[in-house]
Amino acid sequence: MSDEEYRHKWWGWGPEGHEYHMDGRPDFWAWICKTAEITDPQPTTPHASRESIILPPRRQNAAFEQQITEQFQDDQVHVDDNDRIAHSYGRSYRDLVRLRAGIIDHPPDMVLYPHSHEDVERVVECAVEHDVCLIPFGGGTNIVGCVEPTDQKERMAVTLDMRRMDRLLNVDRESMTADLQPGMFGPQIEEALNQIGLSLGHHPDSFVYSTLGGWLATRSAGTQSNAYGKIEHMVIGMRVVTPTGTVETKPVPAASTGPDLNQLIVGSEGTLGIITQATMRVHPVPDFEDYRLLLFPSFDHGYRAILDCVQRGWIPSLARLSDERETELMFVAKRPVTGIKRLVQKYGRRVLKLRGYGSPAALVVAFEGSRKKARQLKREVLKLCRRHRGFDLGTGPGEAWKESRYDVPYLRDYLMDYGAIADSFETSTAWSNLMPLHRSVTAAIKQTVERVTGRSGYYLGCHISHLYETGACLYYTLAVRARDGSSPEEMIEQFNTIKRATTDEMMRCGGALSHHHAVGYEHQPWIEQELSTAGVNALRAVKQSLDPSGILNPGSLIPPK
Amino acid sequence: MSDEEYRHKWWGWGPEGHEYHMDGRPDFWAWICKTAEITDPQPTTPHASRESIILPPRRQNAAFEQQITEQFQDDQVHVDDNDRIAHSYGRSYRDLVRLRAGIIDHPPDMVLYPHSHEDVERVVECAVEHDVCLIPFGGGTNIVGCVEPTDQKERMAVTLDMRRMDRLLNVDRESMTADLQPGMFGPQIEEALNQIGLSLGHHPDSFVYSTLGGWLATRSAGTQSNAYGKIEHMVIGMRVVTPTGTVETKPVPAASTGPDLNQLIVGSEGTLGIITQATMRVHPVPDFEDYRLLLFPSFDHGYRAILDCVQRGWIPSLARLSDERETELMFVAKRPVTGIKRLVQKYGRRVLKLRGYGSPAALVVAFEGSRKKARQLKREVLKLCRRHRGFDLGTGPGEAWKESRYDVPYLRDYLMDYGAIADSFETSTAWSNLMPLHRSVTAAIKQTVERVTGRSGYYLGCHISHLYETGACLYYTLAVRARDGSSPEEMIEQFNTIKRATTDEMMRCGGALSHHHAVGYEHQPWIEQELSTAGVNALRAVKQSLDPSGILNPGSLIPPK
């Protein structure tokens, strides 16, 4: 078990050596340069050197540290700079700007790797006794600030890195549930389950570097959420260590025993307790899988197609409808095929253009599950899509999308070398509100981006994903160069202005504050508007009850009163 | 709008004049007498006369009453005995024993009928100001004590009867949601929605006399929960008046904005706030519906059949598998057919017996939805059932079951005339635990019933219903005569002993404290064991935050510290 596996490079996404490769994508870089007004041949804002970073001194709590040293093995307790840096931030734009500039004001003072539920109980007990803050940490991929140690009282902060609690504890094949430890990364979970013919089926974009515990703490959504639900729909029971005792929820399929404690803890972002075990609903490894790409003459055509599917009860396992701009990016980023295939493709593109697909919207769609059902679903969905002028490009591009689906965050690192502001914004809303909200939010983003950065060339793409009977998620990706010569602080300020305008508009239009990115500190300014004052007070009361001294992840979710 | 519609007779189930009819069921009464050791030709324990009941005097709070009188219309404020009696209890066994004996120790001191959200805000405000307790009341069908006004501080108690808030406010056809007021009774909801081609699809056994607000407050489950979910799975958003402000949850399909407030309020039994509006997921009126009855050689055969269906992903819209005893009751309670049909039936029964169905287990199963999907589902389920020796009796008996499905509570009134203890117990658990739990719980009930009542003749039936991928609900119905000559108090004591033993055993075996009956005061003694001490404290904290003076339904759900 290596702690380095799944660990990000200190300044960006993915382990050292993993990055976005422009080779073999001849048109892509030129397209990016044109789109994002990049004129410099060389990076303008490379990241700082590791050596240049000087961390603030550790806040020390001698009594706590002594107790910890006595109770834990040496290799569980880390105070070195590398470990502190690696646990300072998640991977939001603001996080990356600061990391790359070497601005690390709130690193944890210690990183502790628990091996067991009992370890967590012990460290929580010590932390309570000595008033030390604890920040649970999975893969560190969160992009709203859920893992940054910030405490108004400036107490010592210890990050609990859960990655060593990475075991599949038990499988109940009759009930199709699995008991998992929270530190398992996406690939570990699927590997362990696949070996025995099972799957969890949760594949968020961060899949490779995020953990079950992180997913649960943030209400994560995987690409196939249409088929299996968001993570909060898959959890049956949990074991959670709180400063006032361990909460164990009973792994029953449904109950009528007051408010649902699972749904109180899921999404609590480490502020109420530390999840040490979860019973999850699993399913057989699908014996049928079909990923394919369809083109529609426009985003609107695609929207009507997927809504038609939903309303008729034929919801594909995955559906991701990109607007025209995102579709353009998908095609230009693709590694081109060669030879005869290329000729055919070129010819096909011309024909498509003539037939009204000159600026198409792409729908990635997948059907998986037991053969009989999945094939029928495929048949029905494709039939409905044809009615709305969906043009089926087949499984080739679908598989290509599947293979490259985890690449985007690498690309962001690349763009940040050239002073780009690059992040995503997402919301969810009812079907009837989806397109009106989309139009308003797009206008608000564009207007703010242009005003704030002074640029007219930038990338803003959007897709609809995560379909429900009553609505869906809208996901925006933005890349725009900050004003020339901006300092890191100025970059963040420009980003903040855009983020504020975007979120304000989403809220004004009745969208959710977040569909699957959580609250952290980034969405905190809107949480009271989202949940109502009485609602936030109720959560504060829960927090006060379970964590009276406020040692658990103090910066996240619930704003100070 | 009549307040009397949907109102129970004061001593039993359903309006005056509606009762269980034995005529046309020649074998049934004889079977009951034999089964339940009834030897008396005439009722031994008829209910008291209405005139004999003397209610305790009203606890009066003059300042509160003056304010209410000023702010509400005369016909909204009732203090007469009939209204007080009608809102004293739900319809549990304990409730009925006391009602029938005229023992009404805690009637509400006033019954108020709000007409709007603003009315509810007003009355909550007055109640807070004058420290008066409020008990929200839907149809009064709850069987665990959720509507009985009990307050340790003996404050004035006002029941809020919500039935006049009975409007369908808005329908969003694109998003397939409907905004409903909480006082709508089951039939009102379906009538209003059916008129525009929609349906909620929630049919608990209490359907005719229970309301949306009551369902939400108790996490109710309808017979077709396999297809549409429990009520907590159908709710998208709510408007809830609490003593510290109104909580409005955003009607989005899913979100990642901390703990789920909908799931905090659903099931809170009126202790956190009063629901004044709910946005519910709806669906088109099914264009295909097929209810049928199958027989299996044994309960165990049926169990394996439904588990097989679930594991292969073919879950019928409704599945209710009765054990051998409940099946016997179903057949003996049936109105017999006559003529040739009767001959055929008799012959059929003999053949079935010869083929191993001498003591069969009945599975009521339904397939509904869009024609294509529902028919396929039917095909697959019936195929799987055949593999497990399911014998299809067709739609006739299925339809008969559907028609009579709301009758059982009437039968209870009938039996209580003969000194019967009659109630139901239910739980949910994982599939792998279902049959072991069933065996243990059955043994515990039998042993306790026989010890407590001294009888060997009684009825105990069970069915499995509400199927989930990971488990199901087990539902027991018991009817046994109390010891001869028992006083009402002694009857309750005998019942309590049986209830305690049953619930203890369910808890010991890992079953849920309740799957869909809620907590009230009846399940309160086990709630801490169910949710853990820290969990109950968290709920207490929420309660303290939203309702600091504890005026909302003080007797229910959360035990006093």
List the alpha helices (DSSP H) in B279-354. Answer: 299-311, 324-333, 339-354
Dist. CA B507–CA B255, nearest whole Å: 33
User: Which of B269, B284, B299 finishes a domain?
Assistant: B284
Cβ atoms of residues B222 and B210 within 8 Å: no
Residue from the list A230, A244, A468 with its beta carbon closest to the beta carbon of B534 = A244
Q: Burial level of A439, CB count in 10 A (0-12/13-18/19+)?
A: exposed
* Residues B143 and B195 occupy one common structural domain: no
Residue B317 forms part of a structural domain? yes
End-to-end CA distance of chain B: 42
List the alpha helices (DSSP H) in A238-359. Answer: 261-265, 299-311, 324-333, 339-354
For the four alpha carbons of A217, A218, A221 and A222, in that order, the dihedral sign comes to: negative
Whether the predicted pLDDT of A558 surpasses 60: yes
Residues 6+ apart with CB under 8 A from A48: A11, A100, A101, A102
Residue A367 belongs to what H/E stretch? strand A361-369
Q: Provide the pLDDT for residue B26.
A: 77
What is the pLDDT averaged over residues A238-267?
97
* Residues A382 and A459 occupy one common structural domain: no
* Residues A377 and A446 occupy one common structural domain: no
Residue from the list B255, B433, B542 with its beta carbon closest to the beta carbon of A428 = B255
Cβ atoms of residues B78 and B111 within 8 Å: yes
Mean pLDDT computed over every residue of chain A: 95
Contact check, Cβ <8 Å, A546/B533: no
Dist. CA A336–CA A348, nearest whole Å: 14
Residues 69-88 of B with CB under 8 A from A: none
List the one residue out of A160, A114, A113 whose CA is nearest residue A133. A160
* Residues A390 and A447 occupy one common structural domain: no
What is the pLDDT averaged over residues A136-150?
96
Distances (CA, A) of A87 to A160, A382, A547: 9, 45, 22
User: Which of A405, A424, A440 finishes a domain?
Assistant: A405
Residue located via tokens 């499988």? A171
pLDDT more than 70, % of chain A? 98
Q: Provide the pLDDT for residue A338.
A: 66
Which has more confidence, A57 or A344?
Answer: A57
Dist. CA A358–CA A351, nearest whole Å: 9
Residue B40 forms part of a structural domain? no
For the four alpha carbons of B390, B393, B397 and B398, in that order, the dihedral sign comes to: positive
Contact check, Cβ <8 Å, A515/B433: no
Contact check, Cβ <8 Å, B512/A312: no
Residue B17 belongs to what H/E stretch? none
pTM above threshold 0.95: yes
Tell me the CATH number at B439. 3.30.300.330
* Contact status of A561 with chain B (Cβ, < 8 Å): no
Question: Mapping DSSP to helix (H, G, I), strand (E, B) and coil, where does residue B209 land?
Answer: helix
Number of Cβ within 10 Å of residue B298's Cβ equals 16
* Residues B71 and B138 occupy one common structural domain: yes
Dist. CA A13–CA A99, nearest whole Å: 11
Residues 6+ apart with CB under 8 A from A85: A10, A53, A55, A99, A104, A107
Which has more confidence, B356 or A513?
Answer: A513
Residue A530 forms part of a structural domain? no
Beta bridge partners of A112: A77, A160
What is the pLDDT averaged over residues B287-304?
97
**Active-site amino acid positions of B:** 475
* Residues B266 and B325 occupy one common structural domain: no
Predicted confidence (pLDDT) per residue in B186-211, tens digit: 999 999 999 999 999 999 999 999 99
* Residues B421 and B342 occupy one common structural domain: no
Q: Provide the pLDDT for residue A46.
A: 93
Cβ atoms of residues B253 and B146 within 8 Å: no
Contact check, Cβ <8 Å, A515/B251: no
Cβ atoms of residues A558 and A539 within 8 Å: yes
Dist. CA B388–CA B376, nearest whole Å: 19
Residue A499 forms part of a structural domain? yes
Whether the predicted pLDDT of B375 surpasses 80: yes
Chain B nearest-CA distance from A272, in A, is 10
Residue B487 forms part of a structural domain? yes
Predicted ipTM of the assembly: 0.95
Question: Mapping DSSP to helix (H, G, I), strand (E, B) and coil, where does residue A121 land?
Answer: helix
Number of Cβ within 10 Å of residue B533's Cβ equals 13
User: Which of B405, B432, B459 finishes a domain?
Assistant: B405
Cβ atoms of residues A451 and A7 within 8 Å: no
Both tokens assigned to B208? 């005719």
* Residues B269 and B182 occupy one common structural domain: yes
Tell me the CATH number at A96. 3.30.43.10
Predicted confidence (pLDDT) per residue in B483-531, tens digit: 999 999 999 999 999 999 999 999 999 999 999 999 999 999 999 999 9
Whether the predicted pLDDT of B333 surpasses 90: no
Residue B52 forms part of a structural domain? no
Q: Provide the pLDDT for residue B77.
A: 98
pLDDT more than 70, % of chain B? 98
Dist. CA A222–CA A93, nearest whole Å: 21
Dist. CA A278–CA A291, nearest whole Å: 30
User: Which residue of chain B is at minimal alpha-carbon distance from A268?
Assistant: B258
Both tokens assigned to A55? 């961390």
Both tokens assigned to A128? 């309570």
Q: How confident is the model at residue B99 (pLDDT cuts 50, 70, 90)?
A: very high
Residue B229 forms part of a structural domain? yes
Q: How confident is the model at residue B3 (pLDDT cuts 50, 70, 90)?
A: low
Q: How confident is the model at residue B1 (pLDDT cuts 50, 70, 90)?
A: very low
Residue located via tokens 């229910």? B556
Chain B nearest-CA distance from A374, in A, is 11
Predicted confidence (pLDDT) per residue in A277-316, tens digit: 999 999 999 999 999 999 999 999 999 999 999 999 999 9
* Residues B295 and B392 occupy one common structural domain: yes
User: Which residue of chain A is at minimal alpha-carbon distance from B470?
Assistant: A175
Q: How many CA atoms lie within 13 A of A238 on its CB side?
A: 28
Beta bridge partners of B280: B178, B235
Dist. CA A169–CA A319, nearest whole Å: 33
Q: Provide the pLDDT for residue A240.
A: 98
Q: Residue A241's domain spans which residues?
A: 168-284
- Residues A464, A465, A471: CA angle, nearest 5 degrees: 80
* Residues A385 and A306 occupy one common structural domain: yes
Both tokens assigned to B386? 């055949």
Chain B nearest-CA distance from A47, in A, is 32
* Residues B399 and B413 occupy one common structural domain: no
Catalytic residue among A209, A475, A476, A521: A475
Q: Provide the pLDDT for residue A7.
A: 86
* Contact status of B429 with chain A (Cβ, < 8 Å): yes
Predicted confidence (pLDDT) per residue in A491-526, tens digit: 999 999 999 999 999 999 999 999 999 999 999 999
Cβ contacts (< 8 Å) between B177 and chain A: which residues?
Answer: 430, 470
Contact check, Cβ <8 Å, B245/A532: yes
Tell me the CATH number at A226. 3.30.465.10
Helices A93-100, A488-508: axis angle to 10 degrees equals: 180
Whether the predicted pLDDT of A353 surpasses 90: no
Question: Mapping DSSP to helix (H, G, I), strand (E, B) and coil, where does residue A462 land?
Answer: strand
List the one residue out of B509, B352, B494, B526 whose CA is nearest residue B439. B509
Residue B521 forms part of a structural domain? no
Predicted confidence (pLDDT) per residue in B113-123, tens digit: 999 999 999 99
Count of domains in chain B?
A: 4
Whether the predicted pLDDT of A5 surpasses 80: no
Whether the predicted pLDDT of A2 surpasses 60: no
* Residues B326 and B422 occupy one common structural domain: no
* Contact status of A1 with chain B (Cβ, < 8 Å): no
Residues in chain A: 561
Mean pLDDT computed over every residue of chain B: 95
Q: Provide the pLDDT for residue B23.
A: 80
